[in-house]
């Protein structure tokens, strides 16, 4: 199991940038930069490319609706170039609250759009002239929709790699099936290893049945808060706020994918309560209503022996890459956590 870390979208970049060299020397293999509606991930990834040597850099995630497919491909190729072939393109559909509310772009057909984006990106990276007639994207733009002067073009520069790995963030069954079919990696959120097979097993199998063998095995990347040590209960409890935000506030009633995931995990009553409280503006009560079982199951905050057991459970559920949120407030603690995670992962 590889060990990486995630930089949150709500702050902390400068801290991580100052520590990243030390963390890389401690064995950190990957850094993922989130992008929601804060600072963009691309500028931060470019900076990290200059101050790291070996670790993989990944976007976690670039939203499918906010860039054209060819711009997404150009951006990925540029980050792969400045990092010397160390970039992985993390994509995701996000949700209507962000896409329509912040970007003013209609949220429609997310799965079909993601498939077409990946297909177009791979054409660009192969330096083919981009002629594409999809359901949602057409290149060049037909004369009846533009000036009629557009012509097929190919990328001017030669990419470092003609196949940049693609990871898709997905939790809905149809999106997970698509991911298992077309992407190198899958990034689920709030992954509970004991529930993974019943929640996603069918979708993963259906997608894998149509998977191109050239893609290789699916890299399952799971993000989780991490801290190793005794008496860290207060740190573990902090993840309640994130769970409440996603279950309660990341989407309207009936359109909250994260709430639906909690329901599939068997927490229907609690999920409804968290959403009701959060949408009513009672955020602390919403956090308190998140089931303790869900807080613990989606965490790696605790004593070394317990963390080792949870890592083994993740491995047994098919996880191949751990993307840690390092939640300890002190620099030395974060460094120790990375060192211990690498030791534990090597023992699996």
**Mean pLDDT computed over 261-285:** 97
Contact 62, 78 (CB under 8 A): no
pLDDT at 44 over 80: yes
State the pairing for strand pair 166-169/132-133.
unpaired
Q: Which long-range contacts does 334-337 make (Cβ < 8 Å, 24+ apart)?
A: 334/19, 334/23, 335/19, 335/22, 335/23, 335/26, 336/228, 336/229, 337/226, 337/227, 337/228, 337/229
pLDDT of residue 176: 98
Domains and CATH numbers, the chain: 2-223+301-347 (3.20.20.30), 230-300 (no CATH)
Backbone angles phi, psi at 177, to 5 degrees: -60, -45
What's the token pair of residue 288?
């308190």
> Is the pLDDT at 312 greater than 80, yes or no?
yes
**Angle made by CA atoms 200, 201, 202, in degrees to the nearest 5:** 95
What average pLDDT does the structure give for the chain?
96
Q: For residue 75, what pLDDT is reported?
A: 98
Predicted confidence at residue 178, as pLDDT, reads 98
Q: What is the 3-state secondary structure (H, E, C) of 227-271?
A: EECCCCHHHHHCHHHHHHHHHHHCCCCCCCHHHHHHHHCCCHHHH
**Residue 348 pLDDT:** 83
Q: What spatial distance separates the first Cα and last Cα of the chain, rounded to whole Å?
A: 7
Q: Map the chain to HEC letters.
A: CEEEEEECCCCCHHHHHHHHHHHHHCCCCEEEECCCCCCCHHHHHHHHHHHCCCCEEEECCEECCCCCHHHHHHHHHHHHHHCCCCEEEEEECCCHHHHCCCCCCCCCCHHHHHHHHHHHHHHHHCCCCCCEECCCCEECCCHHHCCCCCCCCCCCCCCCCCCCCEEEECCCHHHHHHHHHHCCEEECCCCCHHHHHHHHHHHHHHHHCCCCHHHCCCEEEEEEEEEECCCCHHHHHCHHHHHHHHHHHCCCCCCCHHHHHHHHCCCHHHHHHHHHHHHCCCHHHHHHCCCHHHHHHCCEEECHHHHHHHHHHHHHCCCCEEEEEECCCCHHHHHHHHHHHHHHHHHC
Predicted pLDDT at 95? 87
* Contact call for residues 187 and 219 (beta carbons, < 8 A): no
Mean pLDDT score, 232-259: 93
Q: What is the mean pLDDT of residues 269-291?
A: 97
pLDDT in tens, 135-163: 999 999 999 999 999 999 999 999 999 99
Distance, in Å, from the CA atom of 194 to the CA atom of 48, rounded to the nearest integer, reads 35
| pLDDT tens figures, 184-196 | 999 999 999 999 9
pLDDT at 8 over 90: no
pLDDT number for residue 1? 96
Query: What average pLDDT does range 89-114 have in this prediction?
Result: 94
Q: What was the pLDDT predicted at 212?
A: 97
Yes or no: say if 32 and 6 are a contact pair by the CB < 8 Å rule: yes
What is the model's pTM? 0.96
pLDDT at 298 over 90: yes
Instruction: Grade residue 92 by pLDDT with cuts at 50, 70 and 90.
Output: very high
Task: Give yes or no for residue 252 having a pLDDT over 90.
Answer: no
**Looking at residue 146, what is its pLDDT?**
92
């Amino acid at each position: 199991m590889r060990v990486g870390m995630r930089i949150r979208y709500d702050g902390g970049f400068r801290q991580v940038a100052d520590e990243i060299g030390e963390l890389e020397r401690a064995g950190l293999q990957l850094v993922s930069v989130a992008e929601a509606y804060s600072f963009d991930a691309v500028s931060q990834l470019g900076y990290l490319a200059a101050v790291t040597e070996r670790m993989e850099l990944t976007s976690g995630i670039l939203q499918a609706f906010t860039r054209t497919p060819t711009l997404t491909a150009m951006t990925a190729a540029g980050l792969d170039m400045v990092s010397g072939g160390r970039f992985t393109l993390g994509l995701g559909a996000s949700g209507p609250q962000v896409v329509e509310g912040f970007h003013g772009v209609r949220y429609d057909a997310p799965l079909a759009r993601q498939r077409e984006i990946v297909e177009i990106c791979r054409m660009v990276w192969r330096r083919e002239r981009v002629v594409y007639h999809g359901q949602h994207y057409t290149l060049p733009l037909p004369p009846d929709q533009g000036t009629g002067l557009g012509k097929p073009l190919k990328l001017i520069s030669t990419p470092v790699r003609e196949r940049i790995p693609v990871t898709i963030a997905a939790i809905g069954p149809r999106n997970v099936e698509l991911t298992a079919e077309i992407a190198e990696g899958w990034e689920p959120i709030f992954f509970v290893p004991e529930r993974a097979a019943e929640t996603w097993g069918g979708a993963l199998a259906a997608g894998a049945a149509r998977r191109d063998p050239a893609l290789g095995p699916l890299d399952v990347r799971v993000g989780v808060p991490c801290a190793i040590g005794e008496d860290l209960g207060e740190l573990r409890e902090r993840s309640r706020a994130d769970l409440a935000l996603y279950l309660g506030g990341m989407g309207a009633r009936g359109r909250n994918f994260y709430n639906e995931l909690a329901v599939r995990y068997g927490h229907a009553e609690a999920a409804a309560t968290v959403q009701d409280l959060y949408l009513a503006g009672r955020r602390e009560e919403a956090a308190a209503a998140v089931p303790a079982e869900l807080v613990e199951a989606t965490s790696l905050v605790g004593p070394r022996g317990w963390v080792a057991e949870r890592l083994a459970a993740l491995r047994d559920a098919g996880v191949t890459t751990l993307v840690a949120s390092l939640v300890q407030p002190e620099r030395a603690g974060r460094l120790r956590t990375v060192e211990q995670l690498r030791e534990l992962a090597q023992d699996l």
